Every structure is written in structure tokens, then in C-alpha cells.
Structure 1
Amino acid sequence: MTKLTIVAFDGTRFELEAEPGTTVMENAVRNSVPGIEAECGGACACATCHVYVDDAWTEQVGPPAPMEEDMLDFAFEVKPTSRLSCQIKVKPELDGLVVHVPERQA
């Protein structure tokens, strides 16, 4: 299992054990993390699972793919560390990953 921390907008930390191969969004929804709406169910067809990757993890997570980048145009307060959590696959190399939920979704 891979450790994953999702920090809600109010500062509440959700410390999760995530199965490799799942996505950050799937784990957020499964654990009722507030602010992750995931309206499209992970199809990269909305921007309601937008997160900010913690600065310490941006290089390991990598940049968004072109399709994800297009969807981020619809997200609220996009930053250089913005990603759609449905597009971040959990893998052992991301053990300890920290992401932050924005104030609101698109």
C-alpha cells in the first residue's frame, strides 16, 4: 500500500493507504474527502477533482498530459501545481504523496 495525504481546504488531513494502480480521485471519493466532487467519475471530462500537488512532490508526479491540461482550463484558481486527481495514478514511487484540495471546484 502507498501512503497518500489529502489536505482539505479547511486544513483537515486525510491520511490514506492507497492501492497501487488506483487514482488519487478514487481514494478521495472512497474516503469521503470533502471538495473532491469527481462528477465525470474519472474520465478526465470535467475539472471537479482538481487538486494542488504539494511542492515537494511536483517533480515525482509530473506535468499534466495535454487532455488534462485542457480540462484544467475549467478549474478554479489553477496554479502551476494543479492536477486532476483522476489522472494521478498511485504507485510505490509516490509513497507519502501530499495533495491539497482547492477552496471550491469548477
Structure 2
Amino acid sequence: MFIRQIHYLLALAKTEHFGRAAEASHVSQPALSTAIQHLEEELGITIIKRGHHFQGFTEEGESILQWARILAQNGEGMRQAAAEASHQLTGVLRIGVIPTMAT
């Protein structure tokens, strides 16, 4: 299982469309579909109801989506911890300036 497969699955859940999910993930639609099929094969379950168009997630797929969200969140936490360990500052810094004090 690769984290990118998890991100593809989450993109599909968000857009509910294979083409738009692929575009959001910066891959081709066949690449996204194949990655999700490989994930299904690895897990031994059907995650997505397929037809000519996206038809939704199976009951098992809904359960997998919950785990996918947790994995993605933990992956981001791991990246932040690694950045902190290497003493790199990350995050958003907002500074406000009063116009009369700027000169």
C-alpha cells in the first residue's frame, strides 16, 4: 500500500468523479483508476461501485475511507515531526502592520 493510493482514494471521495480526482491529483485518469484497483486487490475487497461513471463507495469502501482519512492525517503529522526534528520552521506566519507606523 502506498500513501499516494490513499490520496487518490480521498480525492475520489471529495470529487466523486474519476476524471476530476485524477486532475486534482495531477495524474491521468487511468493511472488513478489503476492505483485504486491495486489497492482493492491488496486489501481483497471492492471499495468502489463501478459502472460507466462513478457510482459511489461500497459499504466496505466507506469503512476504508475512514481509515484513509486517518492515514493521511497521520502522514501529515509525520512530515511535520520530521521537519521539527531537522529544525526547519513550518507553518503560517501572519504579521499585521498599522499604516501610520509603517513609515
Same fold, judged at TM 0.5 (above): no
Q: Which has the larger radius of gyration?
A: 2
Structure with the larger RCO, 1 or 2 (CA within 8 Å, 6+ apart)? 1
> How does the TM-score come out when normalised to structure 1?
0.29
Greater helix fraction, Structure 1 or Structure 2? 2
> How does the TM-score come out when normalised to structure 2?
0.30
Greater strand fraction, Structure 1 or Structure 2? 1
